[in-house]
């Protein structure tokens, strides 16, 4: 698991009251001089080239940047091994006032997230980003300053929170800025959908006219009070469904997301029927494994169920959705806990800074196909993790020997 943020760093040459500054990183010694004025050089070895706006080095090699006069040019020294991954095109946000820094964008990553706020009007039992009530509206301008620095070749960015739409017009400004600065980048918005129940807001969202955007909206039950319980907010189900209806009536793309745990698995087939019957026009449905972070830890007795124990319900739900022509995907499940019939729906999707494999996986021939685990899964994961061994082994799940070499 990658470390993205730190408070153990040295900042030299930044005004002590400066809240936040973004550094677009470069490793290019030959970078043309005009471009150096807007980038920060990552010093790993040898003498750093001159002319950059700032320099980023590591605490185990501070001498590399001793030559820089930080009265003129600021310097950042990061903890050594933790940030070794930083590379050309990444964006590091330094926060001198709080003596902190965070890698907010990584060009090589397949999943970049933009956190818009930590406020939320739901309070899900299994929230992986527990809400805070502080006024974090400073994030809006921060994001608007970040967007121009992001490589325009980035395929996709996820806008998340908390609940991004609570920012109201600022949320729309951010989306509009994405369209301006990143006209080839797809945007995936994670939202509970409730604000879109306000048709006027939904219209203004549609009016932004983003070329490739989808809202991922969680729905946890076909029964309103069961959904409200999971998200800990009365009336949430009704607003969420209204939001979905409004978005679809305006031709906007919507994905329904379902996190599978003890409180949602029992009626999963019925939820699939509900979606097929009432929300047939959604663009896709994502069935997701539980992350052991945030509130999940506190609510584990209420939430935990071994995925092996809901294979039936999951199979029925997928059958239902697929029969009705609804595009369906399974995320964050290991292949050994999924019925083989469902493997074609499983997507390898755990963010590369979060995924790992367990000791039980040792020797598994399907690790490449399988998404593995969240790092947080060490806390609790299925008792039925088993490797798929090569043919001929006595614990083989794979192809029989006479078929080896063919597919």
Partner 1 sequence: MSRFGALADYAPTLETRYQLLPFRFANLDDGRCVVTNMVGEYALLSRADLEDFVHHRLVPSSRAYDDLKAKHFLVDGDDSVAVDLLVLKARTKASRLAQFTGLHMFVTTLRCEHACPYCQVSRQSEDRAAFDMSEATADRGLELVFRSPSPTIKIEFQGGESALNFGLVRYIVERAEEINRTEGRDLAFVIATNLAIVTDEMLQYCREHNIFVSTSLDGPADLHNRNRPRAGRDSYERAVDGIRRARAIVGRDRVSALMTTTRDSLGRVEEIVDEYLRQGFGGIFLRPLSPYGFAVKTKSYAAYDADAWLDFYFRGLRYILDLNRRGYRFVEHYASLVLGKMLTPFDTGYVDLRSPAGIGIGALIYNYDGEVYASDESRMLAEMGDTSFRLGNVHRDTWEDIMTSEALLRPLEASYTGSAPMCSDCAFEPYCGADPVFHHATQGDAVGHKPTSAFCRRNMTIFKHLIGLLDEPETRRILLGWI
Partner 2 sequence: MVDEGGGRFSAVLCFSTAVYSVEAVKRAAYRFTDRLSFDISLRDQEIRCSVTPLADMTKVDLASLTARVRNEVLDQDLRERIAAETAGVRNVVLAYAFSATGLQDS
Outline where DSSP puts E strands in 231-361. 253-259, 284-288, 328-331, 346-347, 355-356
- Which of partner 2, partner 1, none does residue 341 bind to, with CB < 5 to 8 Å depending on kind? none
C-beta of 250 vs 389, nearer to partner 2: 250
- Which of partner 1, partner 2, none does residue 199 bind to, with CB < 5 to 8 Å depending on kind? partner 2
Q: How many residues does the chain have?
A: 407
Sort 287 into a burial class: Cβ within 10 Å, 0-12 / 13-18 / 19+: buried
- Which of partner 1, partner 2, none does residue 98 bind to, with CB < 5 to 8 Å depending on kind? none
Residue that is written with structure tokens 């309103």 in the block: 224
Among 278, 369, 403, 404, binds partner 1 (CB under 8 A): 278
C-beta of 295 vs 310, nearer to partner 1: 295
Contact between 278 and partner 2 (CB under 8 A)?
no
Q: Output the six-digit token pair for 219.
A: 């729905």
- Which of partner 1, partner 2, none does residue 20 bind to, with CB < 5 to 8 Å depending on kind? none
Distance from the first to the final alpha carbon of the chain: 34
Among 142, 162, 320, 377, binds partner 1 (CB under 8 A): 320
Contact between 8 and partner 2 (CB under 8 A)?
no
- Which of partner 1, partner 2, none does residue 125 bind to, with CB < 5 to 8 Å depending on kind? partner 1
Contact between 314 and partner 1 (CB under 8 A)?
no
Residue that is written with structure tokens 């830890």 in the block: 297
C-beta of 39 vs 248, nearer to partner 2: 248
C-alpha pair distances (Å), 52 with each of 23, 30, 35, 55, 68: 11, 12, 8, 7, 10
* Least gap, CB of 168 to partner 1 (angstroms): 22
3-state secondary structure 170-239: HHHHHHHHHHHHCCCCEEEEECCCHHHHCHHHHHHHHHCCCCCEEEEEECCCCCHHHHHHHHCCCCHHHH
Q: Which of 330, 371, 334 is nearest to 351 (CA)?
A: 371
C-alpha pair distances (Å), 258 with each of 189, 264, 275, 355, 372: 15, 8, 11, 20, 19
The helix, strand and coil proportions of the chain, stated in percent and rounded to the nearest 5, come to: 35, 20, 50
Sort 161 into a burial class: Cβ within 10 Å, 0-12 / 13-18 / 19+: buried
Q: Which helix (H) or strand (E) holds 104?
A: strand 100-105
37 with 51: CB under 8 angstroms? yes
* Least gap, CB of 201 to partner 2 (angstroms): 14
DSSP bridge pairs for 122: none
Q: How far apart are the C-alpha atoms of 113 and 335, rounded to whole Å?
A: 26
- Which of partner 2, partner 1, none does residue 188 bind to, with CB < 5 to 8 Å depending on kind? none
Count of residues near partner 2 by CB under 8 A: 3
- Which of partner 2, partner 1, none does residue 395 bind to, with CB < 5 to 8 Å depending on kind? none
Residues 111-170 binding partner 2 (CB under 8 A) are none
* Least gap, CB of 234 to partner 2 (angstroms): 23
Q: How far apart are the C-alpha atoms of 357 and 350, rounded to whole Å?
A: 11
* Least gap, CB of 186 to partner 1 (angstroms): 29
Residues 204-263 binding partner 2 (CB under 8 A) are 246, 249
* Least gap, CB of 399 to partner 1 (angstroms): 20
C-beta of 224 vs 393, nearer to partner 1: 224
* Least gap, CB of 217 to partner 1 (angstroms): 14
- Which of partner 2, partner 1, none does residue 234 bind to, with CB < 5 to 8 Å depending on kind? partner 1
C-beta of 81 vs 278, nearer to partner 1: 278
Contact between 311 and partner 1 (CB under 8 A)?
no
Among 28, 238, 283, 306, binds partner 1 (CB under 8 A): 238
Contact between 280 and partner 1 (CB under 8 A)?
yes
Q: How far apart are the C-alpha atoms of 236 and 223, rounded to whole Å?
A: 12
Contact between 177 and partner 2 (CB under 8 A)?
no
- Which of partner 1, partner 2, none does residue 128 bind to, with CB < 5 to 8 Å depending on kind? none
Contacting positions for partner 2 (CB under 8 A): 199, 246, 249
Contacting positions for partner 1 (CB under 8 A): 123, 125, 221-226, 228-229, 232, 234-235, 237-238, 241-242, 245, 267, 270, 274, 276-278, 280, 295, 298-299, 316, 319-320, 323-324
């Amino acid at each position: 698991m990658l470390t993205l943020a730190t408070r153990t760093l040295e900042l030299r040459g930044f005004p002590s009251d400066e809240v936040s500054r973004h550094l677009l990183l470069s490793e290019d010694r030959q970078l043309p001089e005009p471009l150096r004025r807007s980038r920060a050089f990552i010093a790993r070895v040898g003498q750093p080239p001159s002319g950059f706006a700032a320099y980023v080095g590591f605490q185990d090699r501070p001498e590399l940047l001793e030559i820089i006069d930080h009265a003129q040019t600021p310097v950042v020294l990061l903890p050594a091994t933790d940030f070794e991954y930083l590379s050309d095109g990444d964006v590091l946000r330094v926060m001198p006032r709080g003596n902190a820094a965070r890698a907010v964008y990584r060009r090589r990553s397949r999943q970049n997230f933009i956190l818009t706020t930590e406020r939320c009007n739901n309070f899900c039992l299994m929230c992986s980003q527990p809400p805070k009530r502080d006024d974090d509206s400073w994030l809006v301008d921060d994001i608007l300053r970040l967007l121009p620095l992001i490589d325009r070749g980035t395929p996709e960015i996820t806008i998340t929170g908390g609940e991004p739409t609570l920012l109201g017009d600022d949320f729309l400004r951010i989306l509009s800025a994405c369209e301006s600065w990143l006209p080839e980048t797809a945007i995936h918005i994670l939202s509970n959908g409730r604000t879109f129940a306000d048709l006027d807001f939904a219209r203004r969202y549609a009016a932004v006219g983003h070329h490739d955007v989808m809202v991922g909206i969680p729905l946890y039950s076909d029964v309103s009070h069961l959904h409200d319980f999971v998200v800990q907010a009365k009336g949430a189900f009704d607003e969420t469904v209204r939001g979905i209806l409004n978005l679809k009536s305006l031709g906007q793309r919507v994905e329904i997301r379902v996190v599978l745990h003890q409180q949602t698995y029992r009626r999963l087939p019925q939820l699939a029927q509900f979606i097929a019957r009432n929300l047939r026009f959604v663009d896709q449905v994502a069935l997701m494994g539980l992350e052991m972070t945030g509130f999940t830890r506190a609510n584990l007795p209420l939430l935990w169920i071994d995925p092996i124990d809901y294979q039936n319900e999951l199979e029925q739900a997928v059958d239902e959705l697929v029969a009705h022509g609804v595009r369906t995907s399974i995320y964050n499940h290991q292949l050994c806990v999924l019925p083989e019939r469902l493997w074609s729906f499983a997507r390898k999707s755990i963010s590369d800074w979060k995924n790992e494999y367990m000791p039980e996986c040792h020797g598994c021939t399907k690790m490449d196909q399988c998404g593995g685990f969240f790092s947080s899964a060490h806390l609790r994961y299925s008792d039925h993790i088993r490797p798929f061994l090569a043919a001929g082994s006595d614990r083989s799940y794979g192809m029989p020997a006479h078929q080896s070499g063919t597919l």
